[in-house]
Amino acid sequence: MPRDDVWFYQLDGVMLGPVTLAWLKEQILSGRLAATVRVRREDEMALAPAAESPEFGLRPPSVQPPLIPSPPARSEGPAVSREAGATGAGGGGRVGTGTAKLGGHPRAGTGRNSTGHWSRRSEKHFLGFYLGIFLLISFFLFSGLRLAGYPPAGYAPNDSGAWPSPGNAPAGRNREEIPLPGGESLKLAPIPAGTFSMGSPGSESGRRDDEVQHEAVISRPFHMGVHEVTQAQWRAVMGTNPGRFEGDRLPVEQVSWEDATAFCRRVSELTGRRVRLPTEAEWEYACRAGTGTAFNTGETIGPHQANYNGDHVYGEGAKGAYRQETAEVGSFPGNAWGLHDMHGNVWEWCSDWYGGYPAGSASDPKGPESGAYRVLRGGGWHSFPWSCRSASRYMIDPGYRNHGFGFRVVMD
Ligand SMILES: [Ca+2]
């Protein structure tokens, strides 16, 4: 077992481990561990709580707390690596028999290194000697797992060409407005039925493997919120304001998928109009509004067109403002179907469980029957531009809240 097959897992600033690489991989892929690594474009790597970097963190903590393996009785020097490495891959041996659990894990500095807890000395050791190893392995593993949000080198132009006609219902007609308590209302734009290519071509810069391009049919027209749901709208319906940023016309954030669906149910009860979250296919179809490029703005996007991390560029785009907060909805031009902020501002919950796309054509796809994570789309104020692409997908626990996550509604 090579020495670098040993990982140290950081949770709330506390090093836990060592574990084998295979074990950690298994835990991450099964969603039982939260990742704490983010990878920056400049090849920097930094440790950060997953909650602070949702698009770089791998997964949120799952409902079931993971077992944290017991540390070795003597946790210092290279002997630790050899010892831990010898426990073997696949979660066997010592690694799989730990007793500390997430949420009840031992804190560093307890000085009880012979009873399965970390001593200050061992903590120093891990930070001092193995952090570098941890970061190095992090880079390769997380990149390999397609979860680091790391763009490929260079940006080839998108050569995807034009897409089929989106349909025959003209945009701008038959807008709907659903009155809410307190004088608020939800404005919805008509979205025509049609067929489109969902996902991204292999040539699209910044794409991920789960964006497999395929034909998707939207068989019925529907209406979609012109804007992300605002804080004023949320407050009018739910009586609360969970947002970290404050402003009536700012999108509501720090709402989970469960919160968002509760909002939809409540609006439906109050108004008699059937309001729900869009499916992932509906969201992308409406975002594209007939375009087949990486963004509905074309081959690239700029900070004057959407609210995202303008310190970074996509393709031939230019740097610009990184506002580091949400913007009032509708601050930027809408797409061809009159929808604003489909790229950036807040990620938007979709109704689907996350899963792989179907191999062939799909009609009104709704995602897997079950799953562990719900889908978010469009990127947020904190996102790199490539995470805001029309085909970009993100997924997380449906109970997870973040100040970059919001939603918009659709109505049949
Ligand atoms: Ca958005």
Please answer whether residues 343 and 295 qualify as being in contact, where contact means their C-beta atoms are separated by less than 8 angstroms: yes
Q: What is the 380 CA–ligand 1 centroid distance (Å)?
A: 6
Indicate whether 353 pLDDT > 90.
yes
Determine phi and psi for 31, rounding to 5 degrees.
80, 15
pLDDT at 53 over 90: no
Is the bond preceding residue 18 a cis peptide, omega within 30 degrees? yes
Q: What is the mean pLDDT of residues 188-210?
A: 97
Q: CATH 3.90.1580.10 spans which residues of the chain?
A: 172-411
Mean pLDDT of the chain: 73
Ligand 1 mean position, distance from CA 76 (Å)? 47
Q: pLDDT higher for 315 or 35?
A: 315
What is the per-residue pLDDT for 278? 98
Mean pLDDT of the region 188-214:
97
| One-letter amino acid of 207 | R
Alpha carbons 149 and 330: distance in angstroms, whole number: 27
Q: Would you tell me how many other CB atoms lie within 10 Å of the CB of residue 338?
A: 19
Would you identify the CATH topology of the domain 172-411? paralog of FGE (formylglycine-generating enzyme) (3.90.1580)
Q: How far is the CA of 108 from the centre of ligand 1 (A)?
A: 40
Q: What is the mean pLDDT of residues 103-107?
A: 32
| Dist. CA 310 → ligand 1 center (Å) | 15
The predicted structure's pLDDT at residue 174? 84
Calculate how far, in angstroms, residue 21's C-alpha sits from the geometric centre of ligand 1.
Answer: 36
Give burial (CB, 10 Å; 0-12/13-18/19+) of 110. middle
CA–CA separation, 111 and 100 (whole Å):
16
Average pLDDT over every residue of 78-101: 31
Q: What average pLDDT does the segment 355-365 reach?
A: 95
Residue 11 pLDDT class (50, 70, 90 cuts): very low
Q: Supply the pLDDT for residue 141.
A: 53
Report CA(146)–ligand 1 centroid distance (Å). 22
Token pair 């570098």: residue: 132
The pLDDT score that the predictor gives to residue 104 is 31
Ligand 1 mean position, distance from CA 308 (Å): 10
What is the distance in A from the centroid of ligand 1 to the CA of 226? Answer: 11
Q: What is the percent of the chain with per-residue pLDDT over 90, rounded to a whole number? A: 58
Question: Helix axis angle, 231-238 relative to 257-271, nearest 10°?
Answer: 70
- pLDDT tens by residue, 256-291: 999 999 999 999 999 999 999 999 999 999 999 999
> Does 20 or 43 have the greater pLDDT score?
20
Residues with CB under 5 Å of ion ligand 1 are: 341, 345, 378
